[in-house]
């Protein structure tokens, strides 16, 4: 049991919380990880903590409501997935999730998209935004309305040529090693005004060959492995020209501006979110 990975799921009794749960279920089916379903409740102020209702302290009332909401989460979990529910007290949701991830030695934190997004797309709320600029562990983002497939069929890794791409591959290998899942390594290239590939395309194929060599030296792979250079007039256009499977997730690394062992969502990844139709896992530097 101690050797089994765990994922913190940012649950709340909303559609956004259900999306996070569905991503947790999808990843748990793939990797066998266990889910720590965490509902973060606000720490009562000193004044509110002294208030009673019907003889029950205010904090006890919050705890009762939190337990009821977590009970609703239980009904979302299929029988083959191991999930534990936790009530976390913190001043902010992001703080509570990061503390839970540290205390539980979790491999990932999973959150849902904001309700402001278009169905099947991403919109970053305040919690996801905070995690994507501070988390020491990978953060998984579920698009609005996401539903877990019976199995994840392919993992796509958008890998650039700048230093630090190895950390992204290490995280991908940790998820996929020994599993029958296809892997696709993609480099995104923006076309210039004339519609021809810019200088950024130079060396993309040779870099992807180095990527494959790196991965093959570190993992026993059982699925199909492919590479692709996706070109478009913008990052969003390049993403739109790729085919995406229903049972797919994507991985991307942090910006080079990220602090060591911390996530920082870069401009390219942020633009990817506008067009990406599948869950995205952002990996720390």
Q: Are residues 84 and 194 in the same domain?
A: no
Q: pLDDT band for position 116 (50/70/90)?
A: low
Q: Which band of pLDDT confidence, cut at 50, 70 and 90, is reported for residue 104?
A: very high
Q: Summarize the confidence of residues 226-252 as an average pLDDT.
A: 92
**Alpha helices (H) in the chain, listed in sequence order:** 15-31, 46-49, 58-74, 93-104, 126-131, 165-176, 204-216, 235-241, 267-275
Instruction: Tell me the residue range of the domain where 162 lies.
Output: 154-283
Q: What is the pLDDT of residue 2?
A: 38
Mean pLDDT for the stretch of residues 131-145: 91
Radius of gyration of the chain (CA): 20
Asked if residue 189 and residue 65 are part of one domain, the reply reads no
Q: What is the DSSP letter of 138?
A: -
Per-residue pLDDT averaged across 202-212, rounded? 81
Average pLDDT value over all residues in the chain: 85
Task: Give me the CATH number covering residue 256.
Answer: 3.40.50.620
Residues 22 and 125 both lie in one domain: yes
> 52 or 269: whose pLDDT is higher?
269
**Residue 2 CB contacts under 8 Å (≥ 6 apart), including other chains:** none
Domains in the chain: how many in total?
Answer: 2
pLDDT digits (tens, 9 = 90+) for 43-102: 876 655 556 555 558 788 889 999 999 999 999 999 999 999 999 999 999 999 999 999
The pLDDT score that the predictor gives to residue 196 is 54
- DSSP string computed for 48-63: HHT-EETTEEHHHHHH
Residue at a domain's end among 113, 142, 171: 142
């Amino acid at each position: 049991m101690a050797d089994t990975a765990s994922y913190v799921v940012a649950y709340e009794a909303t559609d956004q919380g259900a999306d996070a749960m569905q991503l947790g279920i999808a990843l748990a089916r793939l990797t066998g990880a266990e889910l720590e379903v965490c509902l973060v409740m606000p720490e009562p102020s000193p004044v509110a903590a002294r208030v009673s209702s019907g003889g029950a302290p205010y904090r006890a009332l919050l705890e009762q409501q939190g337990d009821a909401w977590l009970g609703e989460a239980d009904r979302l979990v299929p029988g083959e997935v191991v999930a534990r529910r936790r009530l976390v007290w913190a001043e902010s949701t992001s703080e509570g999730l990061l503390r839970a991830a540290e205390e539980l030695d979790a491999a990932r934190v999973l959150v849902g998209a904001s309700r402001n997004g278009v169905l099947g797309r991403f919109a970053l709320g305040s919690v996801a935004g905070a995690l994507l600029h501070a988390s020491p562990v990978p953060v998984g983002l579920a698009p609005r309305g996401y539903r877990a497939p019976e199995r994840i069929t392919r993992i796509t890794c958008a890998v650039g040529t700048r230093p630090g791409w190895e950390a992204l591959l290490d995280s991908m290998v940790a998820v996929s090693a020994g599993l029958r899942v296809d892997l696709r390594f993609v480099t995104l290239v923006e076309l210039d005004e004339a519609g021809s590939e810019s200088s950024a395309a130079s060396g993309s194929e040779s870099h992807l060959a180095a990527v494959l060599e790196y991965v093959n030296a570190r993992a026993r792979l059982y699925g199909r492995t492919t590479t692709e250079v996706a070109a478009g007039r913008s990052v969003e256009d390049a993403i739109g020209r790729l085919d995406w499977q229903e049972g797919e997730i994507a991985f991307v690394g942090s910006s080079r501006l990220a602090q060591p062992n911390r996530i920082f969502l870069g401009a390219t990844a942020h633009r990817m979110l506008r067009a990406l139709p599948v869950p995205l896992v952002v990996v720390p530097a």
